[in-house]
């Protein structure tokens, strides 16, 4: 059944037991993103140390409400980027975005994406791709505010 | 009329809708429960539109040749059918692209009147101190145009709130509608809650203070007998694609005397009387409001849709939907962990049934239903403030129409139970 392909156990696990959820201090930027078609929303805070692409993502905290896909993908995001450099985190993000926009035709690299490979099935449903990207786009935006703001 | 007693023969009329024969998601029977967003079209409408294009296609109101004559007759004939269908005069029906454009037409015409030196237009002018009243249950199409008009003119926007049951809260009507009120714009039937609003109460109050009324009839005209004259509204809007007709065609009703006095919104060809290099005069309504070559085949198709609905009988359509709505409401309430958003009693409500499944986001519920072939709408259904008010980030919405039957309702109920099972919630 296609449904199981979309709602992989990993996704449902992250949905029921989200990682790193809740808004924490300290943080350098906080952003609020919404999905205008369904009203889902997420607030993301990032805490970075250092400068530019080598800055370290010390913490990503978040709060929001939304469907299992958007909530789980934000939880997976935090696992993948906390403790990494901004450059690495953005590299992972690019792979994830590519996977999600691939209409289900891209073979995900588990070494890079880890739990995020579970979202491969979601990519077959164009209406849900935005859900999967909600938290990631918020993270990108938040980091850009710190990095661009800091370097300017 | 004795014929209205006989129920719709749904099995027979289903055959008129080619799309209902297809399957979805790996061979599932299509259970289409999203007619509130857009309805499906019967062969009769498609054939009529096609026949026009194949035999009489021409630019209406613009030529003296035979095709132009025939096309114009068909186009104006459609206007006549539609006018009859909603109980108004032929020249009170303006064709637009959709209801959204119809409402914008009124709002922009009022804005143009505000800045016009034509004395006839003054009655529509708005400014600081004037008030526009809407409701919290409006579709964005009947909210944003008024927000924008208020911002442009300095008028103030006010609104009726909605009760927890999803009815309009009329308790502060006397404070909301006052001599400062210039416009009262509200929906006839909520596209989320199904609630049918007390039009006569609102119209009487608006008239008592000299305010104009604008009715969003998108979800009422397709589903019941609606007579704008009997309702007494000044303007009303609806869309063809929600009533078995084509997309790209909408209707604005305006009381004749008002349309006569109202300045145009979109200007250009076909809406003029005389044109000079530095100024122009405008055609009488409805042409004044139909600049450019219109969506001709769509208007003609909508005429055919009205014929189709009239042949079914709108009282029978309403009775049929009432039955399905009742079955859906009681069936959903029997499922633990399901909450109806909107009136749970089948009184003064139409066939939009919105609900939330505890612990399952509407998007996820919709995905499971879709995998079973059940097409519902999920999200805020272009009524975000309403969802905020009712504390539901997103809802699942089923809407019923002439081609749905009790088997479709049962499929929905089974699908909701299946959803709960899939996500491990509920009883
Ligand atoms: C109550 C209501 N008003 C307005 C609209 C807007 O209709 P359209 O998108 O056809 O302009 C809709 C349809 O979505 C509706 O349900």
B222-229 average pLDDT score: 98
Contact B32, B393 (CB under 8 A): no
Q: Which residues pair with B310 in a beta bridge?
A: none
Pick from B39, B104, B382, B401 the residue to mutate for probing ligand 1's pocket: most ligand atoms within 8 Å of its CB.
B382
Chain B residues touching residue A40 (CB < 8 angstroms):
361, 363, 393-394
Chain A residues touching residue B380 (CB < 8 angstroms):
38-39
| Residue ID of nearest Cα to ligand 1 atom 7 | B99
B57-82 average pLDDT score: 94
At residue A150, does pLDDT exceed 70? Answer: no
Whole-number pLDDT of residue A4:
85
Chain A residues touching residue B385 (CB < 8 angstroms):
none
ipTM, 2 decimals? Answer: 0.87
Name the closest residue on chain B to residue A67, using Cα atoms.
B361
Helices A68-81 + A126-151 axis angle, to 10: 40
Q: Which of B368, B371, B394 sits opposite A38 (nearest CB)?
A: B394
Q: B48 versus A148: which is more confidently predicted?
A: B48
At residue B146, does pLDDT exceed 90? Answer: yes
- State whether residue A6 sits within 8 Å of chain B by CB: yes
A88-116 average pLDDT score: 90
At residue B413, does pLDDT exceed 90? Answer: yes
DSSP string of B327-359, one letter each residue: HHHHHHHTSTTEEEES-SSSSSB-SEEEEEETT
How many CA atoms lie less than 13 Å away from B263 in the CB half-sphere?
A: 22
CB within 8 Å of chain A, chain B residues 94-113: none
B287-291 average pLDDT score: 97
Whole-number pLDDT of residue A149:
63
Contact B253, B235 (CB under 8 A): yes
B165-177 average pLDDT score: 97
Distance in angstroms (rounded) separating the CA atoms of residues A8 and B225 = 48
User: Catalytic: B382?
Assistant: yes
Contact A38 B378 (CB under 8 A): yes
Chain A residues touching residue B362 (CB < 8 angstroms):
38, 67
- State whether residue B368 sits within 8 Å of chain A by CB: yes
B89-112 average pLDDT score: 98
User: Could you tell me which of B198, B199, B246, B242 has the C-alpha nearest to residue B222?
Assistant: B242
How many CA atoms lie less than 13 Å away from B48 in the CB half-sphere?
A: 25
Contact B339, B358 (CB under 8 A): yes
A94-105 average pLDDT score: 91
At residue A148, does pLDDT exceed 90? Answer: no
Pick from B190, B239, B240, B386 the residue to mutate for probing ligand 1's pocket: most ligand atoms within 8 Å of its CB.
B239
Distance in angstroms (rounded) separating the CA atoms of residues B156 and B139 = 19
At residue B362, does pLDDT exceed 90? Answer: yes
A99-107 average pLDDT score: 88
Tokens found for residue B51: 């026949």
Distance in angstroms (rounded) separating the CA atoms of residues A53 and B297 = 58
- State whether residue A13 sits within 8 Å of chain B by CB: no
CA angle B343, B362, A15 (to 5 degrees): 140
Contact B379 A2 (CB under 8 A): no
Distance in angstroms (rounded) separating the CA atoms of residues B208 and B125 = 19
- State whether residue B371 sits within 8 Å of chain A by CB: yes
Q: Does the N-terminal peptide bond of residue B286 adopt cis geometry, omega within 30 degrees of 0?
A: yes
pLDDT tens digits, A36-72 = 877 789 999 999 999 888 999 999 999 999 999 999 9
Determine the 3-state secondary structure of B95 from DSSP. strand
Distance in angstroms (rounded) separating the CA atoms of residues B16 and B13 = 5
Number of CB atoms found within 10 A of residue B123's CB: 14
Distance in angstroms (rounded) separating the CA atoms of residues B377 and B349 = 18
At residue B27, does pLDDT exceed 90? Answer: yes
Name the closest residue on chain A to residue B367, using Cα atoms.
A3
A74-95 average pLDDT score: 95
Name the closest residue on chain B to residue A13, using Cα atoms.
B423
Helices B362-371 + A68-81 axis angle, to 10: 110
Provide the 8-state DSSP code for B263. P
Tokens found for residue B139: 């579709």
pLDDT tens digits, B156-166 = 999 999 999 99
- State whether residue A68 sits within 8 Å of chain B by CB: yes
> Given pLDDT bands bounded at 50, 70 and 90, which one contains residue B39?
very high
**Ligand 1, closest atom to CA B98?**
11
Determine the 3-state secondary structure of B205 from DSSP. helix
Determine the 3-state secondary structure of B62 from DSSP. coil
Distance in angstroms (rounded) separating the CA atoms of residues B299 and A2 = 41
pTM value? 0.94
Question: At residue B304, what are phi and psi to the nearest 5 degrees?
Answer: -70, -35
For residue B209, how far is its CA from the centre of ligand 1 (angstroms)?
28
Q: Residues lining ligand 1, judged by CB closer than 6 Å?
A: B 98-100, 139, 141-142, 187, 191, 216, 218-219, 239, 382
At residue B327, does pLDDT exceed 90? Answer: yes
DSSP string of B124-163, one letter each residue: G---TT-EEEEETT--GGGTHHHHHHHHHHT-EEEEE-B-
Tell me the percentage of chain B whose pLDDT exceeds 70: 99
Q: B63 versus B333: which is more confidently predicted?
A: B333
User: Long-range contacts: B53-56, Cβ < 8 Å, 24+?
Assistant: B53/B297
Contact B231, B217 (CB under 8 A): no
B177-204 average pLDDT score: 98
**Ligand 1, closest atom to CA B216?**
3
Tokens found for residue B103: 């409402």
Whole-number pLDDT of residue B2:
43
> Given pLDDT bands bounded at 50, 70 and 90, which one contains residue B427?
low
Q: What is the mean pLDDT of chain B?
A: 96
Distance in angstroms (rounded) separating the CA atoms of residues B179 and B173 = 12
At residue B4, does pLDDT exceed 60? Answer: no
Contact B157, B188 (CB under 8 A): no
Chain A residues touching residue B387 (CB < 8 angstroms):
39
Distance in angstroms (rounded) separating the CA atoms of residues A36 and A28 = 26
> Given pLDDT bands bounded at 50, 70 and 90, which one contains residue B5?
low
Whole-number pLDDT of residue A1:
55
Whole-number pLDDT of residue A147:
86
Among B192, B363, B381, B395, pick the best mutation site for testing chain A contact (most A Cβ within 10 A): B363
Provide the 8-state DSSP code for B237. E
Contact B93, B286 (CB under 8 A): yes
Among B192, B354, B362, B394, pick the best mutation site for testing chain A contact (most A Cβ within 10 A): B394
Distance in angstroms (rounded) separating the CA atoms of residues A77 and B106 = 47
| Residue ID of nearest Cα to ligand 1 atom 4 | B141
């Amino acid at each position: 059944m296609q449904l199981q392909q979309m709602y992989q156990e990993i996704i449902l696990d992250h949905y029921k037991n989200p990682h790193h959820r809740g808004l924490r201090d300290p943080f350098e930027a906080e952003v609020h993103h919404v999905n205008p078609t369904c009203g889902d929303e997420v607030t993301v805070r990032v805490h970075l140390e250092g400068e530019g692409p080598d800055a370290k993502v010390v913490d990503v905290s978040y709060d929001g409400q939304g469907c299992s896909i958007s909530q789980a993908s934000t939880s997976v995001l935090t696992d993948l980027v906390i403790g990494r450099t901004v450059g690495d985190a953005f590299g992972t993000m690019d792979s994830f975005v590519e996977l999600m926009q691939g209409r289900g035709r891209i073979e995900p690299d588990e070494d890079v994406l880890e739990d995020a490979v579970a979202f491969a099935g979601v990519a077959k449903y164009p209406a849900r791709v935005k859900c999967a990207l909600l938290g990631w786009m918020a993270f990108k935006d938040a980091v850009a505010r710190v990095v661009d703001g800091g370097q300017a | 009329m004795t014929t209205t007693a006989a129920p719709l023969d749904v099995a027979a009329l289903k055959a008129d809708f080619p799309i209902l024969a297809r399957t979805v998601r790996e061979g599932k029977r299509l259970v289409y429960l999203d007619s509130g967003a857009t309805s499906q079209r019967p062969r009769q409408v498609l054939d009529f539109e096609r026949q026009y294009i194949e035999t009489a296609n021409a630019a209406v109101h613009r030529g003296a040749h035979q095709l132009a004559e025939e096309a114009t007759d068909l186009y104006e004939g459609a206007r006549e059918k539609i006018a009859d269908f909603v109980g108004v005069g032929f020249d009170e029906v303006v064709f637009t692209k959709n209801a959204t454009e119809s409402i914008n037409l009124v709002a922009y015409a009022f804005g143009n009147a505000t800045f016009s030196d034509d004395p006839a237009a003054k009655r529509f002018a708005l400014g600081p101190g004037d008030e526009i009243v809407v409701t919290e249950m409006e579709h964005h199409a009947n909210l944003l145009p008024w927000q924008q008009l208020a911002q442009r003119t300095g008028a103030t926007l006010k609104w009726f709130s909605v009760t927890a049951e999803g009815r309009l809260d009329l308790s502060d009507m006397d404070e909301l509608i006052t001599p400062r009120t210039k416009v009262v714009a509200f929906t006839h039937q909520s596209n989320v809650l199904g609630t049918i609003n007390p039009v006569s109460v609102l119209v009487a109050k608006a008239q008592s203070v000299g305010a104009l009324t604008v009715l969003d009839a998108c979800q009422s005209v397709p589903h019941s007998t609606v007579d704008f004259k009997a309702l007494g509204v000044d303007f009303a809007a609806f869309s063809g694609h929600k009533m078995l007709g084509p997309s790209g065609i909408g209707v604005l009703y305006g009381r004749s005397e008002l349309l006569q006095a109202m300045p145009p919104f979109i200007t250009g060809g076909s809406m003029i009387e005389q044109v000079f290099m530095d100024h122009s005069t405008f055609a009488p309504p409805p042409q004044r409001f139909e600049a450019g070559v219109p969506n001709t085949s769509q208007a003609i198709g909508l005429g055919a849709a009205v014929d189709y609905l009239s042949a079914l009988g709108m009282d029978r359509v309403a009775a049929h939907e009432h039955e399905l709505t009742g079955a859906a409401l009681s069936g959903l309430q029997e499922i633990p962990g399901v909450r109806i958003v909107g009136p749970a009693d089948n009184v003064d409500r139409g066939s939009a049934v919105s609900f939330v499944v505890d612990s399952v986001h509407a998007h996820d519920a919709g995905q499971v239903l879709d995998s079973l072939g059940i097409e519902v709408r999920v999200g805020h259904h272009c009524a975000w403030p309403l969802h905020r008010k009712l504390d539901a980030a997103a809802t699942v919405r089923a809407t019923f129409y002439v081609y749905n039957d009790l088997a479709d309702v049962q499929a929905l109920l089974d699908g909701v139970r299946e959803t709960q099972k899939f996500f491990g919630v509920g009883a």
